[in-house]
Amino acid sequence: MAIGLGQSPLVEGGQAMLWIRGLRVAAVAVGSVGGLSGAAYTLLQSQSRQARSIIGAPRDLPFNADGTYLPDGTGPIAASGGLTFGVFGDSSAAGLGAEAPDWLPGVQLARGLAEEAGLPVQLTTYAISGSRSSDLGRQVDRALIAPPRVALVMVGGNDVTARRGVAECAELLAEQVRRLVAAGTSVVVGTCPDLGSVRPIPQPLRSLAQRWSLALGRAQARALVGSGAAVVPLTLLSRHFATRPDELFSTDRFHPNGAGYALAAGVILAPLCAAAGLWGSARPAGCATVR
């Protein structure tokens, strides 16, 4: 299987670091309004440094296994036709942390779609690690040259570094989703995950991360009302990542591993099948098994 490379090491390695630094900046900004003490400021700085040292910089780039997947589970092959499927967003969409190409979320979902549709599914990954909601426009620009039939968007974990409010970040997401829908693409959005399960972020900084991510996820869902997109709250996975971190996180303890992405794909696949129109007017509770 041919494996392509994605971002430069500088961008990849700095993603989690930028997010944690930005979270500390946001904490200081909140505290400056509410009366953050010098001791609290020092604590947040110390915890930010501690988390960066534990997580470290990823040494590997995310796999890329774009191509066409067949209903019998084979692929990727160089072929056109069938159902076109685009993946947009940040490292969670790109699959950073997956141990092998087969474990990428886009690959797992493409195989599930192909099995359910009985048709080839052509996967194209537009997602770039380190992306924020403000970066989605460039990804959508590329896709609109030949819009995919169905798309998945997952973004939000890096938005804190942009120092924008959650409502603004959510509207940036909704704007790009509306562009895809207007082009004839059926869209499923996985909202910002609960970052309170990232244990290398110590308390109380982790509680701030949790509050921020949950607020952003809710804002994303509100902003997407009436957009035509299906919304999957990834907080459905919070309990699993909180109670099974050794099973579901990659070695950096920040990004999911293949099993973690499989868990996410398991809740996304049914809405994705429905968005692709594979069931007509019916909408069963399940879809083909994610492999």
Decide if pLDDT at 217 tops 80: yes
Q: Is 91 a catalytic residue?
A: yes
- For residue 282, the model assigns a pLDDT of 43
In a domain, 20, yes or no: yes
Instruction: Tell me how many helices (H) and strands (E) the chain has.
Output: 10, 6
Whole-number Cα distances in Å, 260 to 31, 32, 169, 183: 34, 37, 25, 32
The pTM assigned to this predicted structure is: 0.81
% the chain with pLDDT above 90: 60
Question: Would you say residue 149 lies in a domain?
Answer: yes
CA atoms of 90 and 158, how far apart (whole Å):
8
Catalytic residue among 48, 66, 90, 91: 91
Catalytic status, residue 66: no
Q: Is residue 89 part of a domain?
A: yes
Residue 284 domain-assigned (yes or no): no
CATH of the domain at 146: 3.40.50.1110
pLDDT: is 291 or 80 the higher one? 80
Query: Any catalytic annotation for residue 240?
Result: no
Q: pLDDT tens across 20-38, in order? A: 555 554 544 444 334 444 4
Helix (H, G, I), strand (E, B) or coil at 78: coil
In a domain, 32, yes or no: yes
Residue 149 has pLDDT above 80, yes or no: yes
For residue 171, the model assigns a pLDDT of 97
Q: Confirm whether 262 is domain-assigned.
A: yes
What's the domain count of the chain? 1
Read off the pLDDT of residues 66-115 as tens digits, 9 standing for 90 and up: 999 999 999 999 988 899 999 999 999 999 999 999 999 999 999 999 99
- In sequence order, the β-bridge partners of residue 152 are 87, 188
Once rounded to an integer, what is the mean pLDDT over residues 271-285? 73
Dihedral angle, C-alpha 268, 274, 276, 278, nearest 10 °: 120
Q: Classify residue 209: in a domain, yes or no.
A: yes
Residues composing the chain: 291
Q: Is residue 110 part of a domain?
A: yes
pLDDT for the residue 143: 98
Residues 177-215 have pLDDT tens digits of 999 999 999 999 999 999 888 887 778 888 888 888 999
Q: Which domain holds residue 265?
A: 9-275
